[in-house]
Chain A
Amino acid sequence: MKYGSCIESLGVCIPEQVLTTRDLVKGLALAQRLKLELMTGIRERRVCSPGEDSLALAERAALDCLSYSKYNRDQIDMLIYCGITKYVGDLKHVYEPAISFLLKKKLGCEGAMSFDLTNACAGMLSGFHIASDFIERGVVENCLVLSGEYISSLSRNAAGHIQSTDDLQIASLTLGDAGGAALLCRTTPEKGIAASKFVTFADYSDLCIAFLSPKHSGGTMETHMKEIHEASLSCAPQVMEDALAEAGMNLDQIDLIIPHQTSMHAIRAGHRQFTNHFGTFGSRVGINLSRVGNTASTSHILALHRLLQEGKIKRGERIMLLSFASGLVIGVIIFEIQGLADAYGSNC
């Protein structure tokens, strides 16, 4: 490859309005409410207020990201919108023009190449995979990867429907709204993303389906939680091994793993599974659930951003972003932290 590709800056948008798990599931029996909070580790999540939507979340995350970047908005070469949700205005799911197009217009980077990519909760990391390819080949110098997940309508619709914790919509109760942005840019090959590997295990593609609700505004998601959780844990190790081989590393050389943020129960089960599979699992695990919940495609960015801001990631540390998404998509991105640690870690 001609160049390497690195994460130059990150940005997030976390809505101000708080919705606690207890308030969300008031209709459930007390024992089930407590069980839900205990299993997921999610005490609260943020939800959009009137006037906030997918476009606004992504735009604000982009502006936050650009405030840390050496690039101005008119220097952006490429923009990929990777959100599952495309709600603009009053829960209108926009098909056209593409959200990336609308964002280019709002951000003032109309000259950038753009498109929308959808890949469930693996959207932003899939965007990294594609952006890196363009950057590494020298086609573009940088790419802004964005998502705005206005996904709380799924939680609200689920909460009004669920009678017990066995319901297919129960996973929707973990969701929260957020925007995420990452600017990837050119670097030297040795400083770039060390590995990027994505596989879709489509035998499991029907295990989690989300669609616009025919009965309410917003969406509905039905998840076979146990099955998709087991499939994820059984499929992930091979993809992790392939990515580690591509990076020329062993798992014990990874300092921090940030998995997709679904629930504490799932993350702990993953930890046990990977310990069994790899024999050793010394890496720290990044968790960012209790205050924001599962923010779909933005979850890795929120976790990485928070850990950087808290000074919990040091320059030179090796990070593995591990994606589990409906599809079933398993994605792994491995990189070494460089300047990001200095830019964000100074807050502590």
Chain B
Amino acid sequence: MGAIVKTVCTSLPSPGLSYRDRGSEAVKKCLEKEANKLEALDVLISTGIYTDEHMHEPAFASLIQGRLSKFYSEKLKGTFSFDLHNGGGGSLMALRICSGFVASGKMQHGVIVAGDAAPVGGPAGALLLGKGSAGEGFFDFGQDSYPRYSGDYESYAAFTGKELRTFIHQDKAYLKHQLLCVKKSIHNFLSERAIGLDEIDLIIPSQHPPGFVAGLAKHYGKERLIELEQTHNSYSAGFILALAEAHTRGVFRTSKQILCVHAGPGITVELALYIQSLDP
């Protein structure tokens, strides 16, 4: 038994809004939607890479929890919050942790929130997970590393002597290498599980860098891939925004086997297989 998607919400960027603002709004929308069914939120994980004011303590998830505790003090009473980073976000690794917590009885409900502060900015997204019934939910996971491409995408913040700046280096070959790695990982993941590509109804990928989803579409077909028309410069939140889009389009609920794909610096590729029954 794995975790199932209960609801997905987003918060679009707006001038003056921080990641804490947008992340809190996205989580709040999730909690509002499920307020009647949710007794307590057990886990809150933030997977945003770039934090407001380059804050590194406390965990950003606890700052978001703190913002929401005045609205949901009872539901957030026993929540365990922490941050997780892994090559562009780590939302799928967070899903894996939550799914495990569901299986071991440590979690009934959890939220994963993602988004970034300046200079990346962009929207925030939140995903509320719950306990499903046998045979449904996030079922299987994979992670591959391709360290020979670790120099393709690097970012850091440093004081220059005058100001604190964020430096982002993206090699020209990053997109090409990312697509190569993802294709290899998907092939191996499906082969090892004896699943044919034609058995995958929907592919939900992360959305960075520009051209990534279009590159996947050439190989896997545009019709079963979620590509955001307007990414709003999303980075860490790209996967959750695509998941929200799949719900909006109605294709999430009509797909039996869904492959979630997250690729980011490292190069790290994360995969998750979501299975659900389509019975009415």
Contact = CB atoms under 8 A, between A and B. Distances in A.
A225 to B, nearest CB: 15
Contact of A115 (B55, B90, B166): B90
A97 B153 contact: yes
Interface residues of A, number: 64
Contacts of B97: 130, 133
B159 A105 contact: no
A85 interface: yes
A150 B106 CA distance: 33
A198 B86 contact: no
A341 B44 CA distance: 36
A163 interface: no
B159 A120 contact: no
Interface stretch (A12-20, A24-32, A177-185, A323-331): A323-331
Contacts of A92: 156-158
Interface residues of B, number: 54
B225 to A, nearest CB: 25
B145 A104 contact: yes
A1 B85 CA distance: 28
A110 B79 contact: no
A119 B153 CA distance: 25
A218 B157 CA distance: 10
A98 B89 CA distance: 10
A65 B100 CA distance: 27
Interface string A182-219: 00000000000000001110111110111111111111
Contacts of A214: 159, 163-164
Contact of A211 (B56, B61, B100): B56
A335 interface: no
Contacts of B100: 133-134, 137, 139
Is chain A's interface secondary structure helix, strand, loop, or mixed overall?
mixed
B147 A93 contact: no
Interface in A304-335: 325-329
Given A97-B266, A199-B79, A105 B62 contact: no
Contact of B65 (A90, A200, A213, A215): A200
Interface string B81-92: 111111110100
B54 A96 contact: no
B60 to A, nearest CB: 8
13 contacts: A85-B56, A95-B155, A96-B155, A96-B265, A97-B266, A116-B84, A118-B56, A120-B58, A198-B80, A205-B63, A209-B55, A212-B157, A213-B159
Interface of B: 44, 49-50, 53-59, 61-63, 65-66, 69, 76, 78-88, 90, 93, 97, 100-101, 103-104, 106, 143, 145, 147, 150, 153-159, 163-164, 166, 264-266, 268
Given A118-B56, A119-B82, 5 more contacts: A84-B57, A118-B59, A198-B80, A200-B81, A327-B62
Interface of A: 1, 84-86, 88, 90-98, 100-102, 104-105, 110-111, 113-120, 122, 126, 129-130, 133-134, 136-137, 139, 198-200, 202-206, 208-219, 221, 325-329
